Amino acid sequence: MNSPRYIRDVALTLPISDESYLFGIPAVQHLIANEKLSIKSPVTFFVGENGTGKSTLLEAIAVAYGFNAEGGTKNFQFSTNNSHSELYKHLTLMKSAFAKDGFFLRAESFYNVASYVDEVNARDSYGGTSLHRQSHGESFLALVQNRFQGNGLYILDEPEAALSPMRLLTLIAEIDMLVKNNSQFIIATHSPILMAYPGAEILEFSENGVQTVSYKETEHFQITKNFLENPEIMLRYLLET
């Protein structure tokens, strides 16, 4: 892939208070031990179990870059719940180019973003129809297909939350078109469909830190594959009393 990496490295700036909860997050521990996290591909996936810090780090990267903490562009100026961590204050982002466009899509606060779009009467940039008047999945795709313009940095937190398997395939196609139009994606996901995107770098977060893995090495792929091949056996094992 020849698309630019608008964010090339993520480094941690110390000091952090010894009493900070951030020290207990595996992703932060990795940054402390390794000084930085390199982003090597135009499409990078953060994957791993809940609690390993992938979404916390993704959110901090977005806020450090200048995006609104609840999602949107750099121009979105609203806050309904100040729930993001202080990690962004301790991040330094090394950039290799200037992104002309950008968006932070955060699944859990997308409702607030949709409300803000209506409030500022910006629906025309999102397909012309209120995002609230569409299904959750339709509104996600309307955002990507109408608002993402290319030459941009797009940070997505669990975009699969609203999408069916078929719509996930549509999202992969949209991502590919945008990458070919000089875009970079950093995506936190649990979806083995989405992380199959060809050429993507997969960074797996765990209690042992962060490491690059191949698609078929991910726990997400292996568990899904085993389940689909032997659902009866796996369910019988899980549901034994």
Residues forming beta bridges with residue 213, ordered by sequence position: 202
Q: How far apart are the first and last CA of the chain?
A: 50
**Residue 141 pLDDT grade (very low, low, confident, very high; cuts 50, 70, 90):** confident
What would the CATH number be for the domain defined by 9-214?
A: 3.40.50.300
Q: What is the mean pLDDT of residues 50-54?
A: 89
Residues 6+ positions from 49 with CB-CB distance below 8 Å: 205, 206, 219
**Residue 94 to residue 183: CA distance in whole angstroms:** 17
The predicted structure's pLDDT at residue 3: 66
Q: What is the mean pLDDT of residues 99-109?
A: 83
The predicted structure's pLDDT at residue 69: 84
Between residues 125 and 96, which one has the greater pLDDT?
96
Q: Which amino acid is at 101?
A: D
**Residue 61 to residue 55: CA distance in whole angstroms:** 10
> What is the β-pairing status of strands 209-213 and 184-188?
unpaired
**Residue 32 pLDDT grade (very low, low, confident, very high; cuts 50, 70, 90):** confident
Q: Could you read off the pLDDT of 186-208 as tens digits, one per residue?
A: 999 999 999 999 999 999 999 88
